[in-house]
């Protein structure tokens, strides 16, 4: 039953409820929208809006630019800059420290560290706007000071180069979640968009998850296969996150979360941060991109020419475009469905701004977060539930992970596990060269 239905069953509240509904219905649409935006912004001043995923660091890298040559204190042609972050009232941001999955064993760790350095240089360049955060309490304190808490999210477990020592180094550098895979299956975890090799996690992959729990680094299941999701949920000793995924109920993309997994994530206390990627959230867009990509895959399989495959995809797009574009309301649909399946305590926001080439209408850049919050209010969400989605759920998960880490660090030392031993690789001397005498 809806909140309104419960009110109507209480006689002394019924008259007040009817009066309120009549007032809202009678108000001009523009005035109602303005009122909802005012209310949304008031909630965002109370609770930090925490976005789980933004690719500005990679966007800066691909343009070969620094914050000296492109001043993000001024408007830019990207989806993220300081004026729009302020307009969007972003309270804390997990900045993606990304490297292409094809760089596994080809210097991926260097790229990951350099991406973290991009964020730190940004924080140093604009100290009145950003501050590095390491804990949930840091985020709250920084938000109250009027700044944007900045955290690192390592997008691809291949960047630890099969080393728990390097995992710990990334944590010391500020990484507070790690996405176990990106688009390709790694040496120890199966990805959603690649052929499986491990049936989920390998033995070393399980040890990676345990060490992340011991550190207090959030395990991010965006990009992983269903079998990897279930393996992590089986062994994790702290709540997990999806930093930028949506519901498979609406779009059958393997990057999305199926309902049975979403319920299990809720049961384990985690949070699914709904993404804005059009072909992850909207069935017509998903089907459009699948048809385009199937043309490219066929050309690649026949010719082995990746350039020809890209040209074929581009030509198909030009012939059949434009791509269907979802609206802001579709994102709200995902949020509401995941609320119904996993629980309102287990939903958040993970935009993927500056990591995508198109966006839903009404969510074009980081300035538009208040419009999404206002849409939830328009649908009848209460203030308390909205505050959970915009930030309180992520803060709770972080605090639970921090408590689990404090306990696990008392119970066991840092893991010295090696993939060569756990997963039965070749003997170490063959990997590291002849032994010295």
From the list 344, 349, 323, 158, the residue with the least C-alpha distance to 245 is 349
Q: How far is CA 12 from CA 7, 15, 16, 17, 395, in A?
A: 9, 7, 8, 10, 37
Eight-state DSSP code of residue 204: H
Among the listed residues 244, 253, 337, 346, the single catalytic one is 244
Structure tokens at 201: 């996690």
Answer for the pair 240, 233: CB distance below 8 angstroms, yes or no: yes
Cis peptide, bond prior to residue 245, ω within 30 of zero: no
Bridging pattern class, strands 130-132 and 90-98: unpaired
Answer for the pair 122, 113: CB distance below 8 angstroms, yes or no: no
Active site residue 143: no
**By three-state DSSP, how is residue 169 classified?**
helix
From the list 378, 353, 373, 342, the residue with the least C-alpha distance to 47 is 373
Active site residue 352: yes
Answer for the pair 268, 233: CB distance below 8 angstroms, yes or no: yes
Active site residue 249: no
Taking the alpha carbons at both ends of the chain, their separation in whole angstroms is: 76
Among the listed residues 143, 182, 334, 337, the single catalytic one is 182
Among the listed residues 143, 198, 223, 337, the single catalytic one is 223
Q: How far, in Å, CA of 152 to CA of 174, rounded?
A: 6
Active site residue 231: no
Cβ burial, residue 146 (10 Å; 0-12/13-18/19+): exposed
Active site residue 317: no
Answer for the pair 191, 184: CB distance below 8 angstroms, yes or no: yes
Structure tokens at 285: 């867009």
Answer for the pair 262, 270: CB distance below 8 angstroms, yes or no: no
Structure tokens at 293: 């990509």
Among the listed residues 51, 155, 206, 333, the single catalytic one is 155
Active site residue 155: yes
Q: How far, in Å, CA of 96 to CA of 38, rounded?
A: 30
User: Residues near 45 by Cβ (< 8 Å), separated by ≥ 6?
Assistant: 89
Active site residue 400: no
Among the listed residues 53, 253, 334, 346, the single catalytic one is 53
The catalytic site residues sit at 53, 55, 155, 182, 223, 244, 352
């Amino acid at each position: 039953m809806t909140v309104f239905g419960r009110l109507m069953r209480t006689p002394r509240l019924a008259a007040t409820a009817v009066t309120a509904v009549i007032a809202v219905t009678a108000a001009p649409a523009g005035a109602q929208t303005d009122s909802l935006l005012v209310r949304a912004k008031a909630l965002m001043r109370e609770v930090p809006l925490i976005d789980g995923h933004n690719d500005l660091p990679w966007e800066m890298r691909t343009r070969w630019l620094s914050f000296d040559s492109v001043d993000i204190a001024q408007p830019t042609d990207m989806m993220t800059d300081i004026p729009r972050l302020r307009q969007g009232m972003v309270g804390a941001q997990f900045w993606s420290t990304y490297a292409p999955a094809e760089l596994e064993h080809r210097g991926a760790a260097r790229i990951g560290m350099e991406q973290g350095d991009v964020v730190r240089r940004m924080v140093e360049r604009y100290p009145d706007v950003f501050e590095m955060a390491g804990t949930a309490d840091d985020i709250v304190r920084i938000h109250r000071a009027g700044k944007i808490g900045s955290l690192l999210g390592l997008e691809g477990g291949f960047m630890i180069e099969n080393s728990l020592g390097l995992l710990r180094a990334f944590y010391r550098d500020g990484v507070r979640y790690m996405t176990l895979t990106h688009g390709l299956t790694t040496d120890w975890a199966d990805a959603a968009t690649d052929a499986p090799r491990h049936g989920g996690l390998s033995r070393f992959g399980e040890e990676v998850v345990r060490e992340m729990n011991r550190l207090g680094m959030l395990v991010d299941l965006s990009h992983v296969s269903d079998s990897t999701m279930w393996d992590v949920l089986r062994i994790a000793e702290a709540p997990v996150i999806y930093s930028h995924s949506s519901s498979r109920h609406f779009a059958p993309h393997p990057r999305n979360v199926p309902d049975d997994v979403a319920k299990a994530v809720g049961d384990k206390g985690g949070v699914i941060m709904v993404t804005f990627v059009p072909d992850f959230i909207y069935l017509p867009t998903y089907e459009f991109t699948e048809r385009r990509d199937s043309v490219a895959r066929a050309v690649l399989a026949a010719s082995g020419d990746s350039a020809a495959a890209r040209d074929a995809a581009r030509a198909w797009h030009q012939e059949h475009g434009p791509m269907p574009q979802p609206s802001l309301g579709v994102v709200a649909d995902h949020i509401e469905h995941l609320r119904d399946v996993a629980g309102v305590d287990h939903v958040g926001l993970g935009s993927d701004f500056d990591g995508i080439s198109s966006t839903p209408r009404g969510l074009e850049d980081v300035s538009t977060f208040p419009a999404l919050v206002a849409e939830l209010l328009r649908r009848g969400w209460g203030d308390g539930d909205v505050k959970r989605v915009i930030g309180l759920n992520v803060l709770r998960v972080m605090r639970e992970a921090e408590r689990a880490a404090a306990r696990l660090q008392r119970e066991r030392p840092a893991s010295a596990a090696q993939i060569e031993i756990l997963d039965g690789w070749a003997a170490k001397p063959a990997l590291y060269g002849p032994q010295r005498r």
